[in-house]
Amino acid sequence: MDIKYAFIFLVFVQLFQSCGECKPDKYGEILELDIPITTFPSKDTFFIGDTLTIEANFSKEVELYNKSGTIRLDSFKFFALFGISEISDTLEDYAVPIDTIVEAGKVGYLPLHGALAYPLEFDEDLDGYHLEFKIVIHVSGKFWLNISSSPILYEEPNYEHPALYSCDNNRRDKVNIYFTNPSTTLNAYNQIFRTTNVDYLLRLMDYERYAKAGSVTIIVD
């Protein structure tokens, strides 16, 4: 083969190979999202019968966690779970008698093995995602409130969405969703949460993990 034609042939081979290459996007193999939530009133002490509100209103341009920028998410499921437990004794008590008053979105009820959670579903419109509900606690105690989302639910074949892929058929290694709450404070973590007698919470729940769940810890008298 003539050297010139051989060179042209190699150029075309490389061109077609490069066209088929998957170039990962800027978000990387681990996508971490920062979902803003708010709990109010922002205080540490409540009385039986008081109301605490949890709400979230955010754009479809969802903020990245610990990274500048956003990612557009349409028709996305966040698989959020609201949890509340009484933590003054040596075991978490999930059987907390509460009333829930839902203003936007949906709040479910999910009994688990040795636990209880409340699945949350956001309303979606052209502007973004919305959730608002109130809880009324009917007993006194020390309570930990949090919102979490399990990365397992974003693994194949549990859920499909374009955002789970960095390019073509390259599925991201993991999707982590964290909930940032301005009412989460280091003071409440140290002065209330860390006074629990639940051993595994003291061992496993450092402040970073506590904050990523939008946690608040309150006393109800």
Distance CA 26, CA 40 (A): 35
Distance CA 144, CA 82 (A): 11
Distance CA 107, CA 119 (A): 6
36 found inside a domain: yes
Residue 9 has pLDDT above 60, yes or no: no
Q: pLDDT-derived band of residue 168, with 50, 70 and 90 as boundaries? A: confident
Q: How many domains does the chain have?
A: 1
Q: pLDDT-derived band of residue 7, with 50, 70 and 90 as boundaries? A: very low
Query: Is residue 105 within 8 Å of 133, Cβ to Cβ?
Result: yes
Residue 122 has pLDDT above 80, yes or no: yes
Residue 1 has pLDDT above 60, yes or no: no
Structure tokens at 174: 């993991």
Strands (E), the chain: 30-36, 38-40, 45-46, 51-59, 61-63, 70-72, 80-86, 98-104, 106-107, 110-112, 115-121, 123-124, 128-137, 141-148, 165-167, 170-171, 174-180, 216-220
Domain that holds residue 132: 24-220
Higher per-residue pLDDT: 145 or 20? 145
pLDDT at position 125, please? 97
Q: What is the mean pLDDT of the chain?
A: 91
Distance CA 204, CA 114 (A): 18
Global pTM exceeds 0.85: yes
130 found inside a domain: yes
**Secondary structure class of 95 (helix, strand, coil):** coil
195 found inside a domain: yes
Neighbours of 197 (CB within 10 A): 12
pLDDT at position 113, please? 85
